[in-house]
Structure 1
Amino acid sequence: MLLQKLPWAGVRLQSGETSIAIDPMYHFPAKFGSSHEELVPLNEFGQVEAVFITHHHEDHYDPKAIAEYYGASVPVYVPQDSLKHMTDTPLRNVHGVSLGQQIEVGELQVTAGYSVDGFGDPQVSWIVAGEGKKVIHCGDTLWHGFWWKLSKTYGPFDAACLPVNGAVVQFPGMIPSGQPITLTPEQAVAAAVVLQANTLVPIHFRAIHHPPIYRETPDIVERLYNAAKDQINLAILQTKDILTL
């Protein structure tokens, strides 16, 4: 299985002749200013047979880009409870998936697993299996108590794609908490260890840092290496980089 890094939180997974994308994004949300990471058109990564979305937030769900680069009829799988947030879209083939439901896409088996959104919105992790390998992509989850259930039910994993930017937000109309809404570097390492992952692939960092609305935690890469030392392998990928599992 090949794992390719897309911008921000996206990845493209390929097993044999089958490819899927998880959380592909090209159009940067205007409320965050400009991207600190290059946004590459999705067609530069190749076609996919299906798209999987962890949740409906605009930095993870970009229906315009999906329709433009993959086609409006490409199958798109989203959390069942997210469908009500996805009505105004050019996409014509969107399917709600329940927790624990498995989707077959060519040579890949994709299952919706636990995840917990920092704003309490519907969100899932996607567990992808193929060629005897297994990957979990956890969207922009925060720390939760489901790691052990995920590990017991679906682990071990060859790679865990986990958010690491420990974002603290201050959106208009919301009471600020001062607490991260996504995993910090240290929490991501801890989650990967509990998940029995061979390799941690950090996602969901670099692109968005727009204080005070959205503030990325500092020194991410250094903290990842310090936390992962003697515990787990790290694969810090740049956009377009490919990890062979």
Structure 2
Amino acid sequence: MTEPLVVTRITHSCHLIQIGGMTVLTDPWFSQRTFYHPGEPIALQPEALPRLDAVVISHAHYDHCDLDAFRRYPRKDVPLLVAGPVVGKARKAGFSDVRALEPWQSVQVGDLTIAAAPGKHGVYEVTYVISAGGRSVYFAGDTLLIPELRTLTDRYGPLDVALLPVNGLHVGMPRTKQVVMNAEEAAELTAALRPKLAVPQHYAFTGGAIGDRLFLKSDKDPALFVDAVRRLVPDVPVKVISPGEPLTVAP
């Protein structure tokens, strides 16, 4: 019997993924600071989260690895599966079960299989395929599009959901270095992976009026991804999820 699958967006690239009775949190972000604003509500705070069975963290940037806020989550023994540079930060925040995964390594947590896949960003990053009960979700953090990602279904089988960054973020002065895939590239990956459902993430983020003007350039409209998928692979549906909105994914 296929397990139920529900994805709830908290903000940015932070989601709750519930497969059967297991719950995974992705890339925790629960606060704001100068030049780092979600650009949308933060639907839950750590104290209000359900019981987590695992947490995956793609890389060490604050908007994906907000451990100062996430340390308020009461269960410090929750398994954290993380990119290598995150290990020390997570242990310093008080979490006791912290495991680094390299690309193509996997770990079993209860009924969950969490497999790390490659990523490419401004710092070292891994992405994740999260599977249980015949359901599978790809969580892409905020990676660029790299050739290895096109092989995910060859390695792990069909995907129910692909959570893909879409804002094409450029950073620095004069904002010339791209560090996140854009809507067109995310649609190309959708066409390669052909998930049952594609969900955009990592698009509302803003550096504020000064940060956006001086250091950052990005596309903040997820409709660009919706339109690109309709053009490149029209038989794959796309759903834009508002913060706090639970999305039940049909088998």
Shorter-chain TM-score category?
0.7 to 0.9
TM-score, with structure 1 as normaliser: 0.87
1:18 aligns with 2:22: yes
Q: Give the structure 2 partner of residue 130 of structure 1.
A: 132
Distance in 2, matches of 1:112 and 1:167, equals 23
- Closer/same/farther in 2, CA of residues 131 and 111 from structure 1, 3 Å limit: same
- Closer/same/farther in 2, CA of residues 107 and 81 from structure 1, 3 Å limit: same
Distance in 1, matches of 2:67 and 2:77, equals 11
1:55 aligns with 2:42: no
Contact 1:16 1:107 in 2 (8 A): no
Matches within 5 A, 1:166-185: 166-170=168-172, 176=174, 178-185=176-183
Q: Give the structure 1 partner of residue 238 of structure 2.
A: 234
Q: Give the structure 1 partner of residue 203 of structure 2.
A: 205
Residue 209 of structure 1, CA deviation: 4.2
Residue 208 of structure 1, CA deviation: 2.2
Residue 45 of structure 1, CA deviation: 4.0
Q: Give the structure 2 partner of residue 65 of structure 1.
A: 69
Q: Give the structure 2 partner of residue 148 of structure 1.
A: 150
Contact 1:63 1:90 in 2 (8 A): no
Matches within 5 A, 1:28-107: 28=32, 30-32=33-35, 34-40=37-43, 41-83=45-87, 88-107=92-111
Contact 2:83 2:126 in 1 (8 A): yes
Q: Give the structure 2 partner of residue 225 of structure 1.
A: 226
Gaps of at least 5 residues in structure 1 are none
Residue 180 of structure 1, CA deviation: 2.5
Letter in 2 for 1:46: P
- Closer/same/farther in 2, CA of residues 48 and 33 from structure 1, 3 Å limit: closer
- Closer/same/farther in 2, CA of residues 198 and 70 from structure 1, 3 Å limit: farther
Contact 1:12 1:19 in 2 (8 A): yes
Question: Between Structure 1 and Structure 2, how many residues are aligned?
Answer: 237
Q: Give the structure 2 partner of residue 161 of structure 1.
A: 163
Residue 92 of structure 1, CA deviation: 2.9
Distance in 2, matches of 1:140 and 1:67, equals 22
1:115 aligns with 2:119: yes
Residue 177 of structure 1, CA deviation: 5.4
**What's the CA shift string for 1:168-226, capped at 9, x where partnerless?**
112xxxx64524311111111111111121211111111324312223225x2332222
Distance in 1, matches of 2:9 and 2:112, equals 18
Contact 1:79 1:122 in 2 (8 A): yes
Contact 2:54 2:109 in 1 (8 A): yes
Residue 155 of structure 1, CA deviation: 3.4
1:8 aligns with 2:12: yes
CA RMSD of aligned residues (A): 2.1
Contact 2:117 2:126 in 1 (8 A): yes
- Closer/same/farther in 2, CA of residues 111 and 16 from structure 1, 3 Å limit: same
- Closer/same/farther in 2, CA of residues 15 and 34 from structure 1, 3 Å limit: closer
- Tell me the secondary structure at the aligned position of residue 99 of structure 1: coil
Q: Structure 1 residues 153-162 or 68-77, which shifts more?
A: 68-77
